[in-house]
Chain A
Amino acid sequence: MFEILKKQELNPTVTRMDIYAPAVAKKAEPGQFIILRTHADGERIPLTIADFDRETGRVTVIFQVVGATTERLNHMNVGDCLQDFVGPLGRATHTDGLRKVAVVGGGVGCAIAYPVAKKLHSLGCEVHAIVGFRSKELVILEKEFEENSTRTVKMSDDGSWGTQGLVTDALRTLIESGEQYDEVITIGPLVMMKFVCALATKYGVKCVASMNPIMIDGTGMCGGCRLSVGGKTVFACVDGPEFDGALIDFDEAIERSSMYRDFERHRYEESCNLFAKEVE
């Protein structure tokens, strides 16, 4: 079974969990993801692998409580076991030959940006980490980014942490100051990635975005995670999750991500009520 080895609250809505999954840990690479179910009859949800240790069989996931399943996951504790945990799925981040990269993370997407930065840093690549949060309370992995990048640029919407502004402001400043990147890798909310990709493309820098659409099986079977990239339909689970940011149809992806918004909101409220009752 997939035991929870460690649980750590990174901020009020974001949790880090270490799961015992030796088969996944053995094969995991940055950029890949897993699918888990908390309990029998549970929903299958994809989460990107935030870290792993092949020796101890540990796989780390970082998740934000956004719906019924992540709410339930957040109520599980060290020693509890997940029903299912399968992976590693998707393709690993392409890191070969990169010498200077800007890794641009936003919000909980920083959890996915971090292992990418770490791998590049360990390969001797010059990493500029540009990380943005709405405010200081929501900051995660600050120390990890500092330790695994040549330069860490901190941004917040309200100015309570680092510099006030958007990650795109920081990226523009760096590029305009003469920094020449082999690639920009961005992970975060779709709207943020859309503008990061547009900016990088405008300056002629290759940009890669990590997509996290709705999916079920994660093996190419359902097609629910499909995206348009360069006018072609691709499946994020097997063809991605990373794609050439200049070619992704972000508007379509944003629209598709809201397919079950009403259902999810309803289920989330139900599960919150349920947990509130248990606490009483």
Chain B
Amino acid sequence: MANMNPKKNPMPVQDSAVRSRNFDEVALGYTAEQAMDEAKRCLNCKNRPCVAGCPVKIYIPDFIARVAEGDFAGAYRIIAEASSLPAVCGRVCPQENQCEGKCVRGIKGEPVAIGRLERFVADWHNANASGSVERPAANGHKVAVIGSGPAGLACAGDLAKKGYAVTVFEALHLAGGVLVYGIPEFRLPKAIVQKEIEGLKALGVEVVTNTVVGKTVSIDELMQEQGFEAVFIGTGAGLPKFMGIPGENLKGVYSANEFLTRINLMKAYRADSTTPVQHAKRVAVVGGGNVAMDAARCAKRLGAEVYIVYRRGMEELPARREEIEHAMEEGIVFKTLCNPTEILGYRNEGDRRDPKNGFVTGMKCVEMELGEPDASGRRRPVVKEGSEFVLEVDSVIMALGTSPNPLIKSTTKGLATEKWGGIVANEQGLTSREGIWAGGDAVTGAATVILAMGAGKNAAAAIDTYLQGK
């Protein structure tokens, strides 16, 4: 008998007043009872719109049916067939635009909480599964994957399952890409990411850290000297953007990448960390996407009063609704229809050696109003005359988006790229060079974890076809 409650079972969360002071995970996850009860809300409808909404095509109603029966191991097997990183996706996928966005139950009420159920199943597996994974028989082909973010890991996982000898090259000292340097601990615990990576290693994937492809070794060397027959580029979009306004090089101005890397990868929030980060009193985060929310919520946890400064309105914020709600609950102030024009710094004209010189003291902003829709379909913000004011802050974090790193492009001859830096690739991810595929943010520009995973999987399938035909 289906559970006809129009609402999802609520996700247990840490209280907002408590969590805004710690870096522990905000959402605590369903209990087995909550999960089984929620699973019964699925009508197991025939045309399965949810599956069509999933970039990696998980057989969603099937796994949910297993959850409803209490067969969590069976549910995990179904998810794992399609997804390499279920514990990650259950946490960070924008389900409202994907599987849940298409759910029939969402027409009159809330959709089935597919993301929460996926997370429950993955966490149950990680807590209860008895380790040994069967390593597939080697097929004798070597594939190199560049970048250990979601695209690279998904590609590596699928190829390893087919018996390829896969080596993943990572520039940083730790694998995971944006999952470890970008997304904060309280949204995606790093232990979960490492567990997923350990799972890939158990399948035979080799992870080589401290290797900057394009510097330490080139793609051509990998193919010609090291015997890799195919290469997948999943190097993401890691280059931060700045606004180009005066004062952006003052002390206390960070790119969101730098701020988040200091906190997430380098653990600067811990008292014993060797990596410093400014513990500001008042912080302005410029931008309205998920990265802006992450940066704002990290700054809050370091003890600051935090403002999100965004040039359009609340409705236009590109971040996930859930992230915006969590940020608001934690006391982050949204200054929408507001655009910075200059960052102001301390300057003691009488003493050039004053140590306070060059630190941020405020941000000059103008108020905006929404005009006619622009090319993106969103109403274009225009400056309100005479509305200039100064927001008093001692730190500014620029979360304006990122673009692909030019390092691979500049060191790989014949690799075609778009004007804005993205690598040109077809639907299967094949680039302009034979034997080289690419996918994820390196191709699309900054997007989501799950789209990158989908691209990694598509490329893995294409690489398999290519190498089997060789």
Contacts and interface: CB of A to CB of B under 8 A. Distances in A.
Interface SS of B by simple majority: loop
Contacts of B92: none
A42 interface: yes
Contacts of A220: 238-239, 405-407
Interface in B196-236: 209-212, 215-217
A220 B242 CA distance: 13
Contacts of B275: 43-44, 216
A224 B274 contact: no
A159 B181 CA distance: 49
A223 B242 contact: yes
B261 A221 contact: yes
B258 interface: yes
A118 B266 CA distance: 36
Given A252-B249, A263-B276, A222 B405 contact: no
Contacts of B209: 84
Contacts of B355: 258, 261
Interface string B249-278: 101101101100110001100000111101
Most buried by A among B244, B255, B262, B274: B274
Interface in B170-210: 171-173, 181, 209-210
B357 interface: yes
A94 interface: no
A81 B254 CA distance: 33
Given A221-B261, A224-B258, A233-B242, A44 B212 contact: no
Contacts of A69: 274
A255 B251 contact: yes
A223 B258 contact: yes
Interface in A55-75: 68-69
Contact of A216 (B244, B251, B258, B407): B258
A116 B409 CA distance: 28
Contact of A41 (B210, B255, B267): B267
Interface in A25-50: 27, 37, 41-44
A259 interface: yes
B257 A255 contact: no
A227 to B, nearest CB: 8
Interface in B351-389: 355, 357-358
A223 B216 contact: no
Contact of B266 (A216, A226, A258): A216
A222 B215 CA distance: 18
Nearest to B242: A233
Interface stretch (A12-20, A85-93, A147-155, A170-178): A85-93
B240 interface: yes
A23 interface: yes
B167 to A, nearest CB: 13
A84 B242 contact: no
A99 interface: no
A176 to B, nearest CB: 30
B248 interface: yes
Contacts of A83: 173
Contacts of A223: 240, 242, 254-255, 257-258
Most buried by B among A24, A84, A221: A221
Contacts of A263: 276
Nearest to A69: B274
A220 B252 CA distance: 19
Contacts of B258: 216, 222-224
Interface in B141-177: 171-173
A118 to B, nearest CB: 22
Nearest to B405: A220
Contacts of B244: 233
A223 B240 CA distance: 7
A89 to B, nearest CB: 6
Contact of A233 (B172, B239, B248): B248
A219 interface: yes
Q: Which 6 A-B pairs have the closest CB atoms?
A: A222-B258, A255-B358, A43-B274, A263-B276, A86-B210, A223-B255
26 contacts: A27-B215, A41-B273, A41-B274, A43-B275, A84-B173, A85-B210, A86-B171, A87-B212, A216-B266, A216-B275, A217-B172, A219-B215, A219-B407, A221-B240, A221-B257, A221-B405, A233-B248, A238-B406, A238-B407, A252-B249, A252-B358, A255-B251, A256-B251, A258-B251, A261-B355, A263-B276
Given A37-B173, A216-B261, A221-B261, 8 more contacts: A24-B216, A27-B215, A84-B210, A86-B171, A87-B216, A221-B181, A224-B255, A256-B249
